[in-house]
Structure 1
Amino acid sequence: MIGLREVLVAPRKIADLTAHLQPGQERMLAAGSMRHHPERTIWHVNSTEHGGGVAEMLRPMVGYSRALGLPVRWLVLDAPPEFFEITKRIDNGISGVCGDGGPLGYAEHEVYQSVLARAAAVLEEHVSPGDQVFLHDPQTAGLVGYVRRAGAVPVWRAHNGADEPNQHTGVAWEFLRAYLRDAHALVFTLPHFAPAWHKSLASAVIPPFIDPASPKNQPMSERVALSVLARCDLIDAEPSAPPVFTRFDGTTATAELRPTVVREGRPPSPDSPLVLQVSRWDAVKDMPGVMLGFAEHVAPRSDATLMLVGPEVTGVADDPEAAQVFDDCVKMWRALDMETRSRIQLVCLPMADPDVNAAVVNALQRHATVIVQKSLSEGFGLTATEAMWKAKPLVTSAVGGLRFQVPDLSVGTALTDPLDLRAFGNAVTRYLADPANSRTVGERARARVAEQFLPDTHLLAELALLRDLSEMVLR
């Protein structure tokens, strides 16, 4: 099935957001939304409704925007596996990594253009002249020309990027360049993610955000978190509170699912310190490196356990590499000695109910002692933002947006070399051994997120860009 389908999102309670805002931000948000032309629909187009940071941002962005009276809508691209294999290759390339090493030549352009030409026929039924269209990531870059020919304003957004250009970034950006030349503007997560040729187009830098009221980030007590994890057989405990949470639509639900778990014996005790990484099963997230760093440099010096958590390997439509990465992790786990294996769990969370999935991740992050995100490359790293929001000590890599989020030791540890497993182990064990410092670092990290990485800042930046583009178009 090739095409575009609309994701319907109900308006969010704006009070759920404003309760977390800095003084004056609520007034700025209301004023900014009132300045948007009510007859110009703002569209967001991406390639998955569930799974990954873009989808997690779009749902609250659309919901809060609608609550503010903004005409914002969301379309998702459906495409065959061979299309997503190509776009994953491009995405890896602009992130500076090799990926599957496959070509990006004439045949790949043919597949890419064929799929997006068919999707464009559906897009043109939705978009009207004067509308403003955010196209997200490589999967949608080929729609730029169609949007412009429809009389609308195309803005293409790259959520990933590389700290330094290399042969992989060169090939990937060259593939995209011809499709992007008609964009009214390009948006990047960080300034240095942009290719050298972007200066011929208008551009902006807008960091991502987390939604503090979402099932993944809403408040959750330790008792509820333990009950959720016990019901999911991830912690060896008896539930002591109802494992409930508030869904995205405002209704109450039970957080319970049946994950796929690879482990030896029983789940860890609730009293066992937990080191946690939550991410896609993606090579650049370096789940195997986290496992090896824990086995060699954390397990011998602590009584902590490690949990590596990702979505079920078929749960994210535009990520065809997940099964292979997970299989590689299982092989590495099996090669460890039994005592070390007994302290490591590999967990795949079902995606059938995204709200329940998010609530279980919330429980894991709330219960964790130390959260890590040891990526080799990272556009931004919303799982790091989530950890900071929950006031957890964070060990991450000084790459991409992670370096921007954790600029110094006051809010976490960013490893200069993500491949240095000894440094990784030292950072984790320091937090495990010093709960008082961990609390202080976590509290400062939460304050940083409240100031810079909530939806209000993001929405105001997008509206400002669209106003500027409208003025340019009218000249």
Structure 2
Amino acid sequence: MERLGIERYVDVVGEKVVAEIFAAARPLYGLRVLEINSTFHGGGVAGMLHSLIPLLNDVGIDANWALLYGEPGLFHITKKIHNALQGEPLDLSDEEIASYLRVNETFALYSPVYPHDLIVVHDPQPLPMIRYAARRIPWIWRCHIDLSSPYPPVWDLLRPFILRYDAVIVSSEAFAKPGLPTEIAVIPPAIDPFSPTNRELSPEEVEKKLEAHGISLEKPLLVQVSRFDKWKDPLGVLKVYELVKQKIDCQLVLIGSMALDDPEGP
């Protein structure tokens, strides 16, 4: 019989790990958790939540997912914030700041926060909503980008909101902002072996996909799989390709998805 839900992962991590997950989740049975981000499609956060939400529900946690919505041009503003948090010197106008806060205020008033016991907010797009929601429950901010050296004016704008959160989750200890007094936890990135992205393809499917994109079956591949974003350093990949190409006749392939909340994507 085919295993369903989290039992499928027994073949990947073993029965002991799966049993430990159920044991860890048992005290949280029935906990109502709301995950909030800015897109259902494209990008690593959406991909992670598509896997995580069903697994949380499978171990007895009542997990739901809400999407930040707002005014036209919002994602151009939040992309600037996203880049500035990673150190790029980008200033926000008063109008951009007002729009960003207004969207979060409206979303906080009409989002399904109140029936839940825990709110997990992902990345900077919905970060300020905690200021406008009744804070009677724990809130966690999960940041998936490098916060170690943000552009100071943008950090000064966001820091008061971050301090309202009960905890902050980052992907690496090196990504945490030094001196932030909020409790910090680290959850490294993970890959779901059962997501559609990672499913096994037949030789016929592989050949068809490669040929459709003009990729030779005869030459080695140098591949980067990521969101199309300058912070993934595609120019660095090109430099590596130029070096490798001097010795090996290979092909360069950049593979990614189009995140709907990223106006800089192709």
- TM-score of the superposition, structure 1-length normalised? 0.52
Q: 1:272 aligns with which of 205, 210, 219?
A: 219
Q: Which has the larger radius of gyration?
A: 1
Query: How far apart, in 2, do the equivalents of 1:105 and 1:150 lie?
Result: 29
Q: Which residue of 2 aligns with 1:73?
A: 64
Q: Which residue of 1 aligns with 2:114?
A: 128
Query: How far apart, in 2, do the equivalents of 1:27 and 1:293 lie?
Result: 43
Q: Which residue of 1 aligns with 2:98?
A: 110
Which segments of 5 or more consecutive residues in structure 2 lack a partner in the other structure? none
**Aligned with 1:178: secondary structure?**
helix
Q: Would the aligned equivalents of 2:69 and 2:103 in 1 still touch at CA under 8 Å? A: no
Q: Establish whether residue 317 from structure 1 lines up as the match of residue 260 from structure 2.
A: yes
Q: Would the aligned equivalents of 1:81 and 1:320 in 2 still touch at CA under 8 Å? A: no
Q: Establish whether residue 202 from structure 1 lines up as the match of residue 188 from structure 2.
A: no
* Shift, 1:198, TM fit: 1.8
Q: Which residue of 2 aligns with 1:305?
A: 251
Matched residue type, 2:252: L
**Aligned with 2:196: secondary structure?**
coil
* Shift, 1:216, TM fit: 1.0
* Shift, 1:150, TM fit: 5.0
CA-to-partner distance for each residue in 1:44-83, whole Å, 9 max, x for gaps? 0000101111111111100111122210001111233422
Query: How far apart, in 2, do the equivalents of 1:172 and 1:22 lie?
Result: 45
Query: How far apart, in 2, do the equivalents of 1:170 and 1:222 lie?
Result: 51
CA-to-partner distance for each residue in 1:330-353, whole Å, 9 max, x for gaps? xxxxxxxxxxxxxxxxxxxxxxxx
Matched residue type, 2:174: H
Query: How far apart, in 2, do the equivalents of 1:141 and 1:83 lie?
Result: 13
CA-to-partner distance for each residue in 1:410-437, whole Å, 9 max, x for gaps? xxxxxxxxxxxxxxxxxxxxxxxxxxxx
Q: Which residue of 2 aligns with 1:161?
A: 146
> What is the count of residue pairs matched by the alignment?
263
Matched residue type, 1:30: F
* Shift, 1:289, TM fit: 3.6
Q: Would the aligned equivalents of 2:86 and 2:146 in 1 still touch at CA under 8 Å? A: yes
Q: Would the aligned equivalents of 1:130 and 1:151 in 2 still touch at CA under 8 Å? A: no
What percent identity do the matched residue pairs reach?
31
Matched residue type, 1:161: D
Matched residue type, 1:272: K
**Aligned with 1:275: secondary structure?**
strand
* Shift, 1:144, TM fit: 1.6
- TM-score of the superposition, structure 2-length normalised? 0.89
Q: Establish whether residue 218 from structure 1 lines up as the match of residue 218 from structure 2.
A: no
